[in-house]
Amino acid sequence: MLQLLWLIPAIPFLGALILALVGRAFSRRMVAVVGVGSVAIAAGISLAIVPAALALQAPYTQVLWTWMNVAGFRPEIALYLDPMSFLMILVVTFVGFLIHLYSAESMEQDEGYSRFFAYMNLFVGSMLVLVLADNLLLLYLGWEGVGLCSYLLIGFWYKDSANGLAARKAFIVTRVGDTAMLIGLFLLFHNLGTLQIQDLMHRASVQWPAGSPYAIAAAALLLGGAVGKSAQLPLQTWLPDAMAGPTPTSALIHAATMVTAGVYLIARTHVLYSLAPQVQFAVAVVGAATLLLAGFSALTQPDIKRVLAYSTISQIGYMFLALGVGAWAAALLHFMVHAFFKALLFLAAGIVIDALHDEHNIFRMGGLRKELPIAFWTFLIGGCSLAGLPLVTAGFFSKDLILWNAWASPHGGLGLWVVGIAGVLLTALYTFRVIFVVFFGTRNTPVTHRPRYRVIVPVAVLAALSLVGGLVKAPLLAFLNSALPALVEVRAGFLTELLSAIVSGLAFATGLGSAYLFFIRKRQYADALAASSAGRRLHAFWLADWAFDWFYDRAFVRPVVWMAAINRRDAIDSVFNAIAWLNRSAHFTLSRSQTGSLRWYAAVIGAGAVIFAGVILLA
Amino acid sequence: MNSTDLLALLPLLLIAATAILVMLAIAVRRSHLASALLTVLGLCAAFGTLFIAAPLVPRDVTPLLTIDSGALFYIGLILAASIAVVFLCYGYFKQEEEHRPEELYLLIAIAALGSGVLVCARHFASLFLGLEILSVALYGLISYERTTKASIEVGLKYLVLAAASASFLIFGIAIVYFEFGTMDFGGILPDSPAGAVDSATIAVGVTLIVVGIGFKLGLVPFHMWTPDVYEGAPAPVAAFVSTVSKGAMFALLIRFFDRSGMRGDSSLVLVFSIIAIASMFAGNLLALLQDNVKRILAYSSIAHLGYLIVAFEAGGAIGRSAVAFYLVAYFATMLGAFGVVTVLSRPGNDLGDLSGYRGLFWRRPVLASVFTVMLLSLASIPLTAGFLGEFYLVAAGVSGSLWALVIILVVTSAIGLFYYLRIVVALYSRTAQPAGAWPSRINSHSLSWTLGVLTAAVILIGCYPSPVMRLIQTMVAGSG
């Protein structure tokens, strides 16, 4: 069965290729069959190899192609399947499939239907290459592939220049991180002589002592790439603007592909981080800071999709926190659960947005509980899972594990734990703010469109997964820990796992209660709080994402634009023009020698003979 | 000479037999199809006998020839290329059979025989014999369209210059013979361990031999004839000149310098470095703004032979593997490029002008794509055979620490990118020629099949070179 592995990324690529080449000629139905079908087949194969993958004793490597073998240079394209990459492909293909199915209906009226599915398939294919790569170079190819696809999809409605701007922002900001990562790859290759991940990790642990400056530099540079792709501090600014794309795109970016790439990268290269404890601690700090900052920003957003965007940043912050304390498996568990409920939330939000004729502002929604019961119940389930409703939702189990590990891990501590608990409170608050404002209260906008089965089925399946996903916690952790080092709990102290869970449940209840108070019972409290001078300032500050954009604009964008403006006639260009001129002159000079006359040709041969004889005699 | 020797010699014997058979067949009855078919069958049979000869090598057959795995490899390459040229010629001349194309195949078979003798030569006599068999056939091939003035002119030019350079060669041979008293490559410099060329007489003799070889290879400063001949000769013949005749000569060059022990000589190294550098620069720079596609390909071949000298100088197993691999890639690509020109040309009226290729893609997408693949391969873009060939050359050059040559190789191939892409830009230009400027479809299956096979080869070797590389490594390991 495992021989089919290569088909999992190949089929989405094939789908993208077919749609890109002949998609224009297809009917909408045909486009949907190819676009959704390719990911469905990939998901089917992933499911089919489950027994084989579970029975796997050692990681499975499939060499697809050895390009050449010259002078010790032997580039190989190979896929690497271990519990970690297996979990990733399972989630990517399955959630990706549900999102594709949803899109088949929700994008039906769009004129770029086949273009949309071509990009989406390419996106899924690139992500699969990223997670299956056994070599950092191939991983980087997938990495750039998802970057490209996110650019294409965020700017999908390119006729509106604001969307193009958002797409470019996403591309350029993540590019900053990509550059850091590329330098990291150079560093690793230069010092360890390979980019083959397992070899690399082995050599790093043999050649570099813990705390070695090389390990620190390499881990930090890779972290730079990870914070770019995963929208963590300080490169998180692109993700909220990325909401310019179609809603299924957002679901795909946030749930199955792209933003989790950073988490995967760090987990994949965890040996490096173990060798560089400072950087690993930085990962935890980045995660903790991001989850708080994004949580506050989410509180103030009026756009339903932007709230969800900030919640993604915040939840990825939890994953980084887990990675930072060495709870690799917990991070991946939360990744999986997050993929379920975040895809669900986006898709449910998409139903609402479509129903209200593309209305994004939550304050113009309201009272949709009865009108759109499907959207209400699924969004409620997703929201509960996101906020971590104790005992019944998957989100509670995964987040709870992270919180406990943040305390119990040798790298953890009280500070990280407290931040995590504060995050739970914030999450509950902003989540139920949206739920109460959108689905309760008075109806502000009439419902014009209702979902059909291709939309309902995916959200229903995802809702079920968001609830029961936590049940697989124990076996999944055991499965993952066969590939990743398990966390050693060192700290017990006054805090026990049960107590931590109770505190996080209380935090959830507090958040829920405050949201109820502010947005159902006493709306005027919330308004008064926001209207007070301090409240107004804070609101504006958080709404603008802690003024990061403002700062980056002044610190980086404007100086660069300014420099570009004064260097309009690029001075460096003249160097290249000079080279071109030199070549042209040489061409015309030499051309004059091709006279076409026989005696001249013969004379040159004779002259050549004389000169070479002279060279041999004199040398 | 015993029967085993004869078996080892079978490929060459069969090529010779093919030539005789074709000649007799033409004498009995003129038929274009029959002579082409007979030639292809004969050459294929000769190719088949390579497998009979393979287990018997290495072996010296007579004091003149040596058949080793290298010789068999190059004979195979020559035969494959000759067969491709026969196919191209058939499609080309089928359009106007009043040109009496039958003897063309006879000449191709003879030229292939001469090339085969060259790659087996271990003696000056066989060298000269092979060279002249090849050259005399080429005179006829180049001016085969005897009705057009240009064709006669370039034929004559080639005749005069080739004869002059052959006289250089034979004078050089005479001098070397005078000094050492032997015509066997292995007998030259048997005693001097460093392989130094010390006396002035030998220096002059070797220089003259280099002139003779350099002329056939079209290396600077003996390259002047190349663009004129390529432009004036029929397109399939130009393909033959650029591949078979040059490839065979290059194999000879390697054998001569390896066997004679002169490779290590520092002043000869210097001479070849000058030749390589001059060829790389001159070839690429001359092609830069050239407006005739056939002339561009001629200049390009000058540059490519210059690149090959880099691997030749690197020497050793990796140098020889690099040369062999590069020649395979170069053969397939050049034949493909000239194949496209052939499709668009008529006897006596070849399509040379770059403007004539403008917008080809919009009317003949497949043909334009094939040409694009060939041009990208010539420009050594990854995933084509040309890229791996050049990579191999660079690897060989680096392993021989020929830094200056390698850097110039890279710089000049960057210059070369310009003119290849210039053609590509023209192919995809939106200002298309009026309908009817080109034949509406490939008029012969022999052309379409040949181009299909060559395109597949260029891409396949570029993506999955392992089988070819293994073959070459076995070949290099088996030849001394």
Residue pair A320/A228 in contact (Cβ under 8 Å)? The answer is no
Closest-CA distance, A581 to chain B, in angstroms, reads 12
CB contact under 8 A, B222 and A584: no
Cβ partners under 8 Å of residue A159, min gap 6: none
Highest mean pLDDT among A6-10, B1-5, B136-140: B136-140
CB contact under 8 A, A605 and B221: yes
* pLDDT band with cut points at 50, 70 and 90 for residue A243: confident
Alpha-carbon separation of residue B472 from A122, B70, B325 (angstroms): 38, 9, 7
Q: Evaluate whether residue B23 is within a structural domain.
A: yes
CB contact under 8 A, A616 and B391: no
Q: Evaluate whether residue B63 is within a structural domain.
A: yes
Chain B residues touching residue A70 (CB < 8 angstroms): 388, 391-392, 395, 469
What does the pLDDT look like over B78-102, one tens digit per residue? 999 999 999 999 999 888 777 788 8
Q: Which run of H or of E encompasses A410?
A: none
Q: Looking at residue B208, what is its pLDDT? A: 92
Amino acid letter, A112: G
Q: Looking at residue B194, what is its pLDDT? A: 47
Highest mean pLDDT among A27-31, B82-86, B317-321: B82-86
Q: Evaluate whether residue B223 is within a structural domain.
A: yes
What does the pLDDT look like over B20-66, one tens digit per residue? 999 999 999 989 999 999 999 999 999 999 999 999 888 888 889 99
> What are the residue ranges spanned by the domains of chain A?
1-188+234-269, 276-531, 581-618
| Range from A124-128, A500-504, B234-238 carrying the lowest mean pLDDT | A500-504
Residue B325 has pLDDT above 70, yes or no: yes
Q: Which run of H or of E encompasses B11?
A: helix B3-28
CB contact under 8 A, B157 and A591: no
Q: Evaluate whether residue B40 is within a structural domain.
A: yes
pTM of the model: 0.80
CB contact under 8 A, B161 and A66: no
Residue A477 has pLDDT above 50, yes or no: yes
Q: Evaluate whether residue B333 is within a structural domain.
A: yes
* pLDDT band with cut points at 50, 70 and 90 for residue A109: confident
Identity of the residue in A67, A586, A613 whose CB atom sits nearest the CB atom of B204: A613
CB contact under 8 A, B286 and A619: no
Residue pair A61/A79 in contact (Cβ under 8 Å)? The answer is yes
User: Please, what is the average pLDDT of chain A?
Assistant: 86
Concatenating the DSSP letter of every residue in A508-570 gives: HHHHHHHHHIIIII-HHHHHHHHHSHHHHHHHHHHHTGGGHHHHHIIIIIHHHHHHHHHTSS-
Chain B residues touching residue A74 (CB < 8 angstroms): none
Mean pLDDT value across residues A606-615 = 91
What does the pLDDT look like over B445-476, one tens digit per residue? 889 999 999 999 999 999 888 889 989 989 98
Q: Evaluate whether residue B480 is within a structural domain.
A: no
Q: Looking at residue B196, what is its pLDDT? A: 52
Q: Looking at residue B441, what is its pLDDT? A: 66
User: Please, what is the average pLDDT of chain B?
Assistant: 90
Chain A residues touching residue B224 (CB < 8 angstroms): 593-594, 600-601, 604-605
Concatenating the DSSP letter of every residue in A96-152 gives: HHHHHHHHHHHTTT-TTHHHHHHHHHHHHHHHHHHHHBSBHHHHHHHHHHHHHHHHH
Q: Looking at residue B352, what is its pLDDT? A: 86
Mean pLDDT value across residues B432-436 = 64
Q: Evaluate whether residue B300 is within a structural domain.
A: yes
CB contact under 8 A, A619 and B204: no
Any chain A CB within 8 A of the CB of B337? no
Identity of the residue in B168, B267, B388 whose CB atom sits nearest the CB atom of A68: B388
Residue B311 has pLDDT above 90, yes or no: yes
What does the pLDDT look like over B385-398, one tens digit per residue? 999 999 999 999 99
Highest mean pLDDT among A293-297, A422-426, B248-252: B248-252
CB contact under 8 A, A616 and B267: yes
Q: For chain B, how many structural domains are there in total?
A: 1
Q: Looking at residue B394, what is its pLDDT? A: 93
Any chain A CB within 8 A of the CB of B24? no
Q: Looking at residue A444, what is its pLDDT? A: 76
Closest-CA distance, B13 to chain A, in angstroms, reads 35
More confident residue, A550 or A256: A550
Residue pair B284/B413 in contact (Cβ under 8 Å)? The answer is yes
CB contact under 8 A, B466 and A66: yes
Q: Looking at residue B87, what is its pLDDT? A: 95
Identity of the residue in B203, B398, B415 whose CB atom sits nearest the CB atom of A617: B203
CB contact under 8 A, A68 and B208: no
Identity of the residue in B221, B270, B286 whose CB atom sits nearest the CB atom of A594: B286
Q: Looking at residue B436, what is its pLDDT? A: 65
Q: Domain containing B428: what range? A: 3-475
What count of residues does chain B have? Answer: 480
Alpha-carbon separation of residue B474 from A301, B75, B480 (angstroms): 69, 16, 12
Residue B197 has pLDDT above 60, yes or no: no
Query: What residues 427-446 of chain B have any CB closer than 8 A to a CB of chain A?
Result: none
